[in-house]
Each structure stands twice: as C-alpha cells, then as structure tokens.
Copies of this chain bind each other. A is one copy, B any other.
C-alpha cells in the first residue's frame, strides 16, 4: 500500500483533523514526508475530479466532501445551518484573526466600540477561543482563532491568511506607519489641549 493510500485511509476513518506529527509517528515517516504525501493526495483529489477534498488546517489535515456534491448531498441529509455572521461580528473576527493573540481591550481600541458581545458570539460559534492571558494588570484574556475558523474560511493556516490587494494594503500599511509616528506627537499635544480646556 502506498503512503498516500495509508494517509487517505487514516484521514477517512478518523474523520476529524489529524496532526501532522501524529501522522508522522503512526506512519513511521518524517513530518516532511507526511507533508509531501498530503500534498500528493490533495493534488490527486483535485486533478482526478474526485468527490473528496483534503484540507490543511495549520499543522493538521482533514478530509471533506467536494463542494460540487453538496446539492445532491443535501437531498439525502439534513444539515445544521452555519451561524450567520453579522458585519460587526465578522469585523471583530478579522481583527482577532490578523492581530492574534489579542485582548478585548485591543479590539475595542481598534473598533472604537465595546466588543464584548461580538467576541462572546465568536467564542460561542467556536471560531475564536481563549489562548491564554496577557501578563498585564487584570490579566486580560488573549483571544485567537480556532481550527473551525480555518475550516469555515478555507484557510490553510493562520500564517497564510490572505492579504489585502497588494495596492490597498501597501497604501494603508505605509500610512498607518507614518501616522503612528504622528499619533505619538498628537498624544502629547492632546494632553496639552486638555490642560487648555480646563
């Protein structure tokens, strides 16, 4: 039996995502070989026009049905609907995804409004989870995204989150940087302004 076949059988039977390193240990090959093997299997699904797909989720792999089967599948099986994300919630998720690990305070500073509710919803949906606590007064909770987040947005890993269009991003990034320098100056200024107002 080829390694690809063994990997396929394992991922099929396990159903859940399986860590690369666990696979390496069980298959008695190196993690790099597991990666190569997974890549080959993934390609064979896509190129062979199969009904299965292989997803990489950070350092784990999982099989799922191909999107094209869904219309037929749904006639046979009922499926709980995915929770719908409102703009507020998705915006909060974007901040958590790109800046993780973050505290609720960080998110509030960026959004300018309280984010308690949105963060709670995300935790409830299983898209966000606690990742520890910040070593700061009050020891605020640090939030980050879950594997379910990767599945839902079909992202291979947190390190390969899609960037904005190169143009958009470059523009914004550059501005944010230069503005930050200015902001520090402004802060000092604001303090003075407060004094003036008093």
Contacts and interface: CB of A to CB of B under 8 A. Distances in A.
B8 A51 contact: yes
B5 A69 contact: yes
A63 interface: yes
A12 B51 contact: yes
Interface of A: 1-2, 4-15, 18, 22-23, 25-27, 49-52, 63-66, 68-69, 72-73, 75-77
A1 B66 CA distance: 9
A64 B1 CA distance: 16
Contacts of A76: 10, 14, 18, 22-23, 26
B75 A9 contact: no
Nearest to A63: B12
Contacts of A2: 49
A5 B66 CA distance: 8
A12 B8 CA distance: 12
B73 A9 contact: yes
